[in-house]
Structures are given as C-alpha cells and as structure tokens.
C-alpha cells in the first residue's frame, strides 16, 4: 500500500505517494519559471514528496527538492498527484510559494499576470488577480497591453463557471452567428455565443424584425466572472 503525504497548509490531506522515474518528469513548474525559481530553498530533501499536477506533471510545490534529486544522480523520486483543474493547480502553487516564504515583488506578480494571460487568456481578470495578488483593474490593463483578449467567448471565473465577457458582446456574437448561418438551431447559437437559450431566441427575433440584437438598455459592461 502507498504511504500518504499531506500539505495541510494547502488543505491537501492523505495523498498517495508514488515512486516514479525521474526521466519521466518534465521538471517544469506550473508557475512562471522566474517566480518558481526565486523562492527559498526547502530543507526537505527526502521526507516530503514533490507535488505535481496530475494531468500536466508540472510541479506545484517542491521544485527545489526535484532538482536536489537530479543533482544527486537519483533515478527515482517520490511524488503526489493533484488531480484538480489547471486553475486550481496554479492557485495552489501561488499559495504554496507565498506560504513557503517567497515574498513576491510587484514585478514578480506582474510576471504571473502576463504569464497567465498568455497561457490562459480565457480566465477572468478577477481569477488572475487572485492568482497574482493584484487588482482586477491591473490585470485588465495588462490584458489590453498584451492584446490577450481571449476572443469573444466566455471567461472562466473564480468559481470555475464560464460567463460572457459582456451581455452586449455575447448578443452581438449570437447575431453574427445567425447572420452567417440563418438555419442554425437556437441551441447551437446559444452554446457557441455563451448565452442563454432565451437570449438567443430574443436575438433571432430582433434580427428578423430588423432591429439591433442588443437592446438600447443593455450596456457593454464587462461581467468578468466571480
């Protein structure tokens, strides 16, 4: 039976420990390398396994211990797998870095924002702000500067739910889909535009009447996710 390991500060308890060949691990952190490599060196070398994100094998916590094993010419290393989403894994890694004694400078936090926007532009400004410890306004400004809009699709919020960037933009997207595919099913357009079925129906009705798909009372206000 596998022994178990825990990271109580990350609310991860009793994860099975696996002995895996070092050659199978990419030795890549889930956070930006600049941030992951700037933390203090851990005193744990043998007792604590390395915490990896299950689906990507990237290091959430323990990059220094993994490199210690490589430097010691070991062929195997103990790991635990976190089988959550990439969003949850990045949040855990950021929390582990701070709790491990890493004092993130504004420059470090800005690097996290830029990296996350490039890797996951569909994440909401509030979610990225939570990861980096900066304000959503700062994230939005960086997003515009980088041109990392994430397209017209929905944004993933802190609760993991997808929401349209704005109701007006989502309605316009639905209108474009109806214009391009007049015979498209309501359900298809609703799913692709990220709107409710009733909204898609209203957009189609307005377009057939020669009206703008966005009612005048709806402002293009971001609904950037919880």
- Banded pLDDT at 81 (limits 50, 70, 90): very high
Determine phi and psi for 93, rounding to 5 degrees.
-65, -40
State pLDDT tens for residues 115-139: 888 888 888 888 888 878 888 889 8
CA distance 84 to 25: 18
157-165 average pLDDT score? 73
State pLDDT tens for residues 170-215: 788 889 999 999 899 998 888 777 778 899 999 999 999 999 999 8
Closest CA to 93 of 59, 68, 121: 59
Angle at 137 between CA 136 and CA 140, to 5 degrees: 85
Whether the model pTM is above 0.75: no
State pLDDT tens for residues 13-65: 999 999 999 988 887 888 776 665 655 455 444 578 999 999 999 999 988 88
Give the number of other Cβ atoms within 10 Å of residue 99's Cβ.
12
């Amino acid at each position: 039976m596998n022994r178990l390991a825990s990271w109580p500060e990350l609310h991860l308890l009793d994860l099975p420990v696996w002995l895996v060949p070092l050659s199978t691990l990419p030795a890549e952190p889930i956070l930006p390398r600049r941030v992951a490599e700037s933390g203090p060196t851990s005193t744990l070398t043998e007792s604590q396994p390395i915490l990896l994100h299950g689906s990507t094998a990237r290091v959430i916590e323990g990059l220094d211990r993994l490199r210690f094993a490589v430097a010691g010419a070991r062929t195997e290393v103990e790991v635990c797998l976190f089988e959550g989403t990439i969003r949850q894994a990045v949040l855990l890694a950021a929390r582990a870095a701070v709790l491990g004694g890493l004092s993130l400078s504004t420059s470090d936090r800005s690097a996290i924002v830029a990296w996350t926007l490039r890797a996951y532009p569909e994440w909401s400004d509030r979610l990225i702000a939570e990861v980096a410890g900066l304000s959503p306004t700062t994230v939005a400004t960086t997003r515009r500067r980088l041109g990392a809009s994430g397209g017209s699709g929905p944004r993933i919020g802190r609760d993991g739910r997808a929401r349209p960037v704005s109701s007006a933009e989502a309605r316009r997207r639905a209108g474009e889909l109806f214009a391009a595919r007049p015979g498209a099913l309501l359900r298809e357009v609703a799913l692709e535009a990220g709107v409710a079925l009733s909204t898609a129906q209203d957009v189609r009705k307005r377009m057939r009447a020669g009206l703008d798909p966005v009612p005048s009372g709806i402002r293009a206000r971001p609904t950037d996710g919880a």
